[in-house]
Structure 1
Amino acid sequence: MFDHVVFGVSDYAASKAFFLNALDPLGIAVVQEGQHGIELSSDGKVSLCMFQTEEKPAHLHLAFVAESRQQVDAFYRAALEAGGSDNGAPGLRPNYSGRYYAAFVIGPDGHNIEVVCHEPVA
């Protein structure tokens, strides 16, 4: 659905480190970085971009697709180790669907970062 998502962060270095570590289990890495910020992607088609700003944007909810429940678990551990705060441990969310397996963390700017797997148990 999206080509890219761009948002501002209050501490570029902290946000860069957080997202690189938290999203590493999903294969997301730096595509490019320059004066306008950083672009991250896993496939070169859809990207997440962030830049330094002094503005106080509203909180975002970013949800990333995982290929497996193990990736959801790995994201959650990596995000907490990278300084994120728990906002929902990995597990099924039956109120969404019988296969909605997700984890949620709060990132450096208070954004709700989710990784979700819609696949059944392998």
Structure 2
Amino acid sequence: MIGYVTLGTANLAKSSAFYDVLLGTIGAGRFMEEPDYFIAWAKAPGEASIAVSVPFNKEPASVGNGTMVAVALDTPEQVDSFYAKALELGGTCEGKPGFRPEDASSGFYAGYFRDLDGNKLNAFCIVADS
């Protein structure tokens, strides 16, 4: 249902370097870009993508309160690795990986972080028979 998500950035070069490495860990690569304006990554053209962009109106990029992008993965180990890579690249922790709620009855496993511009993301998976 979701085609793409665009996150504002104050520094396209730093942001793109962060996402090149982070999204590369799950097989996503650049598939569309316009110099000095935006870059989009996906696993394949036509699939859901994440983009970073300098705001079109030339105003400062800002973080939406309550806005979050969730990256779907297959296993808790992938979530742990993706989350760790985000922090290694300079992202900040917003909630270590684990089950939410902590009793694991929902099977929802996620780790939360912010990118270099302060945008909030999470990596998650649904664990069957939890």
- Smaller-chain TM-score bracket: 0.7 to 0.9
Amino acid at match of 1:102: A
The structure whose Rg is larger is: 2
SS of the aligned residue for 2:117 comes to coil
Amino acid at match of 1:50: V
TM-score (norm 2): 0.81
* Structure 2 spans left out of the alignment, 5+ residues: none
Q: Percent same amino acid at aligned positions?
A: 29
Q: Which moves more between the two structures, 90-99 or 101-110?
A: 90-99
Is residue 114 of structure 2 the alignment partner of residue 106 of structure 1? yes
Q: Name the counterpart of 1:38.
A: 39
Q: Name the counterpart of 1:55.
A: 60
SS of the aligned residue for 1:13 comes to helix
Q: Superposition RMSD on alpha carbons, in Å? A: 2.2
* Structure 1 spans left out of the alignment, 5+ residues: none
Instruction: Return the offset for 1:99.
Output: 0.5
Q: Name the counterpart of 1:117.
A: 125
Q: Which moves more between the two structures, 103-112 or 26-35?
A: 26-35
Output the CA distance in 2 between the equivalents of 1:97 and 1:63. Answer: 20
Instruction: Return the offset for 1:12.
Output: 0.7
User: CA 1:93–1:46 in 2, change beyond 3 Å: closer, same or farther?
Assistant: same
TM-score (norm 1): 0.86
Is residue 77 of structure 2 the alignment partner of residue 70 of structure 1? yes
Q: Name the counterpart of 1:9.
A: 9
Instruction: Return the offset for 1:97.
Output: 5.3
User: CA 1:82–1:37 in 2, change beyond 3 Å: closer, same or farther?
Assistant: same
Output the CA distance in 2 between the equivalents of 1:78 and 1:39. Answer: 19
SS of the aligned residue for 1:26 comes to coil
Q: Name the counterpart of 2:101.
A: 94
